[in-house]
Amino acid sequence: MNKKILVTGGAGYIGTHTCIALHAAGYDIVVYDNLSNSSREAINRVSILIGQPIDFIEGDIRDAESLRQAFVDHRFFGVIHFAGLKAVGESVTKPLLYYNNNVSGTITLLEVMRQYNVKNLIFSSSATVYGDPKFLPIDESSSRSCTNPYGQSKLTVEHILEDLAVSDESWNLIPLRYFNPVGAHPSGQIGEDPNDIPNNLMPYISQVAVGKLPKLSIFGNDYPTIDGTGVRDFIHVTDLAQGHVAALDYLKQQTSIEEHGSDEKSSDKKNSIGFLPINLGTGKGTSVLELVAAFSKVSEQNIPYHFVSRRAGDIASCYASADKAKDMLKWRAKLSITDMCQDTWRWQSMNPNGYDGSI
């Protein structure tokens, strides 16, 4: 059975954790990454953790020739597509870069996949496609809208995937809508390594705790939430990685029913996955202040903070309905906020300079 997976963006934060989970589940992986937001050191550490070298191709998803070569050299069952740029603020100042990388890059990848008849894809989407949700918890049928180019690029790719599934039912396309991934591998060897001053809450808190940044600015304390600060659905990155394995297992199972099912079954359209969006979240909301308190307790560090005005584009509360993932993928997040803080803290304190320092 073909268990070879192309992992675009596999050198990044979520990609590295997913490579480890895929390897443990018996999948063969080939990582394709241009290292624009990651490093060879991340790949080295994944190799050490899995006990064998990683098959790594340094390449850009917008480079069709280089992608084609990967498909000539390997026979893939499917692709997990993490490669993309993800900084919301930067996307506002560089929209063309974001649309080019995230949208044009994905179109190039899909064209090459079609050329080599590899039509199984798991795509990194985001809860950002729900915009300001009309109800909570957010389920997959909620309306979608985005206000910044990063979010638009994710939504546009989702629309492209929907159209593709309509045009040709042999595609199996699963956008996974991540809520707020945090945490790190329990070994402390891999984790999130922001290039600059972090934009997101958890890396900011951990850099304050380790003494790299003086204090946290909390964006708003007047939201209609439990304590006035924003509420998010934080999910441990290893749970998230396991969600990709579950989605891939589901895809494999469904497509093998198609290949090997009875005549009646193989003509049954239910076995064609088409476009199947699934939330990956815990279903539980945690406020900014609650996360700060949890991190402070775990790390035994004081985390100075002050309140500043709301950040443009932020919403009050956002958490997932995780029912679809539970019902269809038989997956649910298992790790707690304490686990998320503990593993982030281990990674941060063992690697105060991320992958740049040595351990």
d(Cα 61, Cα 66) in Å, to the nearest integer? 8
Angle at 288 between CA 287 and CA 293, to 5 degrees: 95
Residue 98 binds which of ligand UD1, ligand NAD, none (CB < 5-8 A, kind-dependent) = none
Closer CB to ligand UD1, 260 or 306, in the complex: 306
The residue whose two tokens read 């629309």 is: 159
Taking CB under 6 A as the criterion, which residues in 143-182 touch ligand UD1? 150-151, 180
The residue whose two tokens read 């991190």 is: 295
Q: Which residues are catalytic?
A: 150
- Any idea what DSSP says for residue 197? S
d(Cα 92, Cα 63) in Å, to the nearest integer? 24
161 belongs to the binding site for ligand NAD (CB under 6 A):
no
d(Cα 268, Cα 252) in Å, to the nearest integer? 17
Closer CB to ligand UD1, 11 or 273, in the complex: 11
- Applying CB under 6 A, the span of 130-138, 214-222, 242-250, 257-265 interacting with ligand UD1 comes to 214-222
Question: Which positions from 103 to 142 touch ligand UD1 by CB under 6 A, shown as an x/- string?
Answer: -----------------------x-x--------------
Closer CB to ligand NAD, 178 or 223, in the complex: 178
Residue 76 binds which of ligand UD1, ligand NAD, none (CB < 5-8 A, kind-dependent) = none
DSSP string, 252-264: HHHHHHHHHS-HH
| Secondary element (H or E) of residue 274 | strand 274-275
Closer CB to ligand UD1, 17 or 232, in the complex: 232
Taking CB under 6 A as the criterion, which residues in 217-236 touch ligand UD1? 217-219, 230, 232
Hey, what amino acid is at 218? I
* Residue number with the smallest Cβ distance to ligand UD1: 230
Residue 344 binds which of ligand NAD, ligand UD1, none (CB < 5-8 A, kind-dependent) = none
Among 33, 55, 239, 343, binds ligand NAD (CB under 6 A): 33
d(Cα 120, Cα 170) in Å, to the nearest integer? 9
Q: Which residue, 173, 122, 125, is CA-closest to 151? A: 125
Identify whether the C-beta of residue 27 lies closer than 8 Å to the C-beta of residue 5. Answer: yes
Closer CB to ligand NAD, 154 or 346, in the complex: 154
Name the minimum Å distance from CB 268 to ligand NAD: 33
Alpha-helix runs per DSSP H in 192-236: 201-209
Sheet holding 286-287, edge to edge: 286-287, 231-232, 317-318
Q: How many Cβ atoms from other residues are within 10 Å of residue 227's Cβ?
A: 12
| Secondary element (H or E) of residue 123 | strand 120-126
Tokens representing 83 are 């490669």
Taking CB under 6 A as the criterion, which residues in 55-94 touch ligand NAD? 60-62, 82-86
Alpha carbon 164 to chain centroid, angstroms:
22
Taking CB under 6 A as the criterion, which residues in 105-124 touch ligand NAD? 105, 124
- Applying CB under 6 A, the span of 54-62, 109-117, 307-315, 335-343 interacting with ligand UD1 comes to 307-315
Residue 183 binds which of ligand NAD, ligand UD1, none (CB < 5-8 A, kind-dependent) = none
88 belongs to the binding site for ligand UD1 (CB under 6 A):
yes
Strands 231-232 and 286-287: antiparallel
Number of residues that bind ligand NAD (CB under 6 A): 27
Residue 203 binds which of ligand UD1, ligand NAD, none (CB < 5-8 A, kind-dependent) = none
Question: Which positions from 3 to 22 touch ligand UD1 by CB under 6 A, shown as an x/- string?
Answer: --------------------
DSSP string, 21-51: HHHHTT-EEEEEE--TT--HHHHHHHHHHHT
Which residues of the chain form contacts with ligand UD1 (CB under 6 A)? Answer: 86, 88, 126, 128, 150-151, 180, 199-201, 204, 216-219, 230, 232, 288, 311, 313-314
Binding site for ligand NAD (CB under 6 A): 8-9, 11-15, 33-38, 60-62, 82-86, 101, 105, 124, 126, 178, 181
